Amino acid sequence: MGRIVVISTGGTIASRWMGSGFAAEADGREVMATAPLPEGVSVEVVDLFSVNSPRLTTAHQLTLLRTVHEVLADPGVDGIVVTHGTDTLEESAFLVDLHHHDARSVVFTGSQLPMGSAEGDGPGNLYDALLTAATTRGLGVLITFAGRVHAARGTVKTQAVALDAFADPSKELLGKVGFGKVAVLRGPQRPAPLPLPAMPELPPRVDMVMHHADGDPVLLNAAVEAGAKGIVLVGTGAGNATPEIVDAVAAAVARGVLVALTTRVAAGPVTEIYTHGGAVDLVAAGAVPTGTLRAGQARIAVLSALLASPEPAERARVLHEVLGAAGSVLIDA
């Protein structure tokens, strides 16, 4: 069915017991040796890095993004599979998706159980990812896990240790894998892709601050003073906080900081319902509501907007586009 390039970045799927816990140590060829290949698929491996995904940096993720583009510059490649740790997989997949302008699929996968585990999920997930990469087109970046296919946008890790680890709590399932076939159930909604960003010498700092009972602006202000160029405010409910935090958001925006507003609630959109510090006031102060994107992916959206332009107004415009306020297109499966 095609020539697939597997980009190996580490994670549990490449982990071994290290005496006190598991850590990513195996290279991509060792990972590939654990899984059968779908009929007609040939594989080439790129060993990019091997780390536990909580240790990933923006520099790692931008390196991965550029590597994906370099691999797809070869017209003989039919698709890409990225093996990745599950903790930050949703962030890396969304970053690649925001800049993905190719019909060929880039499919992220990993595992919840380490290499060599009895009943381990890595080999099955890898097989399904290879099949998905070889047989789908025009769907953007995908996450294949536990027999399910998810759009990168909106999909988050919803289970800490269970094998069916990923879902988009606000949307229907994109597809399923079974009996050697991939069934696509809907088309993903994606904004127009962004150009590939330059590799900055020092990536912009983007922090996340969560609101809670007794929450005050101390951490948000500290992020600004620490040099944050972007902040994701994780509000309560439909995206709410306090009048004091509204004032802090307005001050940050006045200093050129790009502020996005999401919610700590698992599903549903940020919505302008409440005043007295709610989303009505936060948006009026300059915060950009992120719809159904949650904190990790909202941070990636802010990062991409910051990398797109040095001008605050243009960064805000790009963030609105990335979030689907403009330029959204529905890609038919």
Question: Read out DSSP for 172-207?
Answer: ---EEEETTEEEE-SPPEEEPPPPPPP--SSPPPEE
Please indicate whether residue 12 is annotated as part of the active site: yes
Predicted pLDDT of residue 324: 79
**How confident is the model over 199-239, as pLDDT tens digits?**
999 999 999 999 999 999 999 999 999 999 999 999 999 99
**How confident is the model over 132-149, as pLDDT tens digits?**
999 999 999 999 999 999
Burial class for 203, CB neighbours closer than 10 Å (0-12, 13-18, 19+): middle
Angle at 222 between CA 216 and CA 228, to 5 degrees: 125
The counts of H helices and E strands in the chain are 9, 18
- Give all domains of the chain, ordered by start, each with its CATH number: 2-190 (3.40.50.1170), 206-328 (3.40.50.40)
Predicted pLDDT of residue 194: 96
Per annotation, catalytic residue among 12, 132, 236, 290: 12
Mean pLDDT by groups of 10 residues along the chain of 333 residues: 94 94 93 95 96 96 98 98 98 98 98 92 97 97 98 97 96 95 94 94 97 98 98 98 98 98 97 97 97 97 97 95 58 35
Predicted pLDDT of residue 187: 92
**pTM for the complete prediction?**
0.95
